[in-house]
Amino acid sequence: MRQYSPLTIIFYIIGPILIIFSHFGSLLVFKTGLSWGAIVWIVFLYLIRMLGTTGIYHRLLTHKSYQAPALFLWLGCIVTASAGQMGPSWWKAHHMNHHQHSDKELDGHSPNTRFQGIRAFYWSQGGWLLSSEFFPAKLPRDVENDKVLKVIDRLHFVPVLSLAALSYFIGGMEYLGAFFFSTTLLFHGVQTVNSLSHIVGDRPFITNEFSRNNAFVAFLTLGEGWHNLHHAFQSSSRHGITIRSGRVVYLPDPTYSFIKALEFLGLASKLRMPTETDLLARSQCSFEHSELPVPVETSIVSVYE
Ligand SMILES: [Zn+2]
Ligand SMILES: [Zn+2]
């Protein structure tokens, strides 16, 4: 933590405090009840902010699986920060670390290293945020060099509080409770990628960790649950891909559909995608009778100094 200023430490710690507060705030919906309008608000906030997390923070900011204008990235990061997902530097730092050390000792939220059973699930589902693992060892220099992204990163809690205020302005305590409820659901939805997608599901592709394709997680996270494909081809803008009976099969991936819509609108370009030859060469069935060594992911490059 030596590289962090006292102010940055305080600003970062506000993140988990807001998430804990959001859990308790969700209980408001039991007091106020939920109108259809409030239910629509919950679903709308969940979908738009999940797309921000998956389509902006993960596939654009972290993996650069497509290109987009800087203004779109900045606005997308503000929307995503309003989900209580922390800021772009913090998020990318943790996720790059996850890919560099997946299911190894230095993986901050693996369910397969330091604990077993329900404790391992709790750890990967959010417990790690309440430990020293919360502070990234290093921040990504490309994000830190972008002054706008750096400001969004340190002031990540401002969009959260602004959206809470907007919710209250729209519909009083009922909509404020709906905001908390949506934020809490979203938090746990995102965390299932760290937990369930490294525990339960199939592994159609050869990787050197325990990532899984999990349809339930893909449903909750608009396509991110196809996590084994993602670990095998980290720069792919499409995650919903598997291999069945030696053939490439495409799976529902709403985040990829979102990116395609952005492309149609001229906001996304240069979408990256493995060829079917690459996919089949990396599939489990191609190695069943092969003496070839297990391939190691090489597509991720260090963004740290
Ligand atoms: Zn993973
Ligand atoms: Zn990733």
Q: How far is the CA of 37 from the centre of ligand 2 (A)?
A: 34
Q: Output the CA 256–ligand 2 centroid distance in Å.
A: 14
**12-to-123, 210, 213, 228, 285 alpha-carbon distances in Å:** 19, 30, 31, 30, 45
CA atoms of 111 and 160, how far apart (whole Å): 28
Q: How far is the CA of 99 from the centre of ligand 2 (A)?
A: 7
Q: How far apart are CA 131 and CA 109, in angstroms?
A: 10
Residue ranges per structural domain of the chain: 6-198, 215-287
Residue 29 CA to ligand 2 center (angstroms) comes to 34
Residue 95 CA: which ligand is closest? 2
Q: Structure tokens of 292?
A: 């070839």
Q: Which ligand sits closest to the CA of 94?
A: 2
Widest distance between CA atoms in the chain: 64
Cα 170 to middle of ligand 2, angstroms: 35
- What spacing in Å lies between the alpha carbon of 197 and ligand 1's midpoint? 7
Alpha carbon distance 109, 132 (integer Å): 11
- Nearest Cα neighbor of 215 from 183, 240, 184 is 240
Helix (H, G, I), strand (E, B) or coil at 84: coil
CA–CA gap between residue 248 and residue 231 (Å, rounded): 17
Question: What is the CA(102)–ligand 1 centre distance, in A?
Answer: 6
Q: What is the number of the ligand closest to the CA of 194?
A: 1
Helix spans in the chain (H)? 6-25, 28-32, 36-51, 70-81, 88-100, 117-124, 141-144, 147-154, 157-194, 215-220, 227-232, 254-264, 276-281, 284-287
CA of 190 to the centre of ligand 1 (A): 12
Query: Ligand 2 mean position to 253 CA, how many Å?
Result: 15
* Phi-psi sector, 95: left (phi>0), alpha (psi -120 to 50), beta: alpha
Tell how far the Cα of 210 is from the centroid of ligand 2, in angstroms: 14
pLDDT for position 284: 87
Quick one: pLDDT at residue 288? Answer: 60
Q: Specify whether the CB–CB gap between 214 and 201 falls below 8 A.
A: yes
Ligand minimally distant from the alpha carbon of residue 62: 2
Specify the pLDDT at position 1.
Answer: 64
**Ligand number, closest to the Cα atom of 237:** 2
- Note the pTM of the prediction, 2 decimals: 0.92
**pLDDT value at residue 285:** 80
CB 86 within 8 A of CB 108: no
- Each residue's pLDDT expressed in tens, for the chain with a length of 305 residues: 667 999 999 999 999 999 999 999 999 999 999 999 999 999 999 999 999 999 999 999 999 999 999 999 999 999 999 999 999 999 999 999 999 999 998 988 999 998 889 999 999 999 999 999 999 999 999 999 999 999 999 999 999 999 999 999 999 999 999 999 999 999 999 999 999 999 999 999 999 999 999 999 999 999 999 999 999 999 999 999 999 999 999 999 999 999 999 999 999 999 999 999 999 999 988 766 554 444 444 344 333 33
pLDDT of res. 301: 37
Q: How far is the CA of 233 from the centre of ligand 1 (A)?
A: 12
pLDDT value for 3: 79
Pairwise CA distance, residues 128 & 130, whole Å: 5
Ligand closest to Cα of 197 equals 1
How far is ligand 1, taken at its centre, from the CA of residue 43, in Å?
26
Q: How far apart are CA 156 and CA 148, in angstroms?
A: 12
